[in-house]
Amino acid sequence: MVDAGQAARARTRMVERLRTQGIRDERVLAAMQAVPRHAFVEEGLAFSAYDDTPLPIGFQQTISQPFVVARMIELLRAGRELGKTLEVGAGCGYQAAVLSLLATEVFAIERIRPLLDRARANLRPLRLPNVRLKLADGSLGLAEAAPFDSIIVAAAAVGVPPALKEQLAPGGRLIVPVGGGEQRLVLVERQGNLFRESVYEAVRFVPLLGGTE
């Protein structure tokens, strides 16, 4: 069991490490400092929650390492507000909690029902009024709530999913890991009907799968 003091100190060390790794967005760092990451993993892994490593959350899924979470959100923000945000791959709910402190609304979708139930249970004690969770096929986005100012994808796609591009608002941004063997972060920016893509560092994510279960 991790006590509150230990957890707060571990979060501070995590944020200091993120700074040394190059994360510069102070609002992202403050959100990472605020969210109790250990509350989103199995109790036996709580002492590892603030290490810079992905951790298993069941169903062949993982919670991303803190640097990747911070880096993706920093790229998505980059001089603007997140606004209305879609998260594809809610997992255990951790990233949705971080996003809730930076976005006006967060729609977090997950294709694995028991994992969605776990995310709901993890998020409930935090009482975040701007987070909505839904069972859905992430590759298709969430057309009923579109358009989105920001879309963040926590699974690797073979290419940028067309449905997600279409659900971007004008001026919106989408960040998604792309690739089979080697994956890289791809940032898509919508300018009218044009989409500009920028490629960033290598990452490692579970594959983005269709359907729900």
The per-residue DSSP string of 146-192 comes to --EEEEEESSBBSS--HHHHHTEEEEEEEEEEE-SSSEEEEEEEEET
Q: Which is more confident, 4 or 100?
A: 100
pLDDT at 180: 79
Q: Name the β-bridge partners of 202.
A: 184
Residue 201, classified by CB atoms within 10 Å of its CB into exposed (0-12), middle (13-18) or buried (19+), is: exposed
Mean pLDDT of 157-161: 95
Predicted confidence (pLDDT) at residue 1 exceeds the cutoff of 60: no
Q: What local confidence, expressed as pLDDT, does residue 117 receive?
A: 96
How confident is residue 2, by pLDDT bands cut at 50, 70 and 90? low
Q: Find the mean pLDDT for residues 3-25.
A: 92
Average pLDDT over residues 138-148: 96
User: Which of these, 136, 141, 161, 155, lies nearest to 207 by C-alpha position?
Assistant: 155
Domain ranges of the chain: 53-203
Q: What is the mean pLDDT of the chain?
A: 94
Residue 156 has pLDDT above 90, yes or no: yes
* CA–CA dist 81, 135 (Å, integer): 26
pLDDT digits (tens, 9 = 90+) for 40-57: 998 888 888 899 888 888
> What number is the average pLDDT over the span 69-97?
96
When computed from its CA atoms, the radius of gyration of the chain, rounded to whole angstroms, is 16
Return the biggest CA–CA distance within the chain: 51
More confident residue, 47 or 91: 91
Interval 171-213: pLDDT, tens: 999 999 999 789 999 999 999 989 999 999 999 998 898 888 8
One of 3.40.50.2300, 3.40.50.150, 2.60.40.10, 3.60.21.10 is the CATH number of 53-203, namely 3.40.50.150
Please state, for a pLDDT cut of 70, what percent of the chain lies above it. Answer: 99
- Measured over the CA atoms of residue 82, residue 86, residue 90 and residue 96, the dihedral's sign is positive
Q: Is the pLDDT of residue 119 over 90?
A: yes
Q: Distance between CA atoms of 115 and 179, rounded to whole angstroms?
A: 24
The rounded distance, in Å, linking the Cα atoms of 189 and 175 is: 9
**89 or 7, which is more confident?**
89
Q: What are the catalytic residues?
A: 64
Contact 36, 14 (CB under 8 A): no
Residue 4 is predicted with a pLDDT of 77
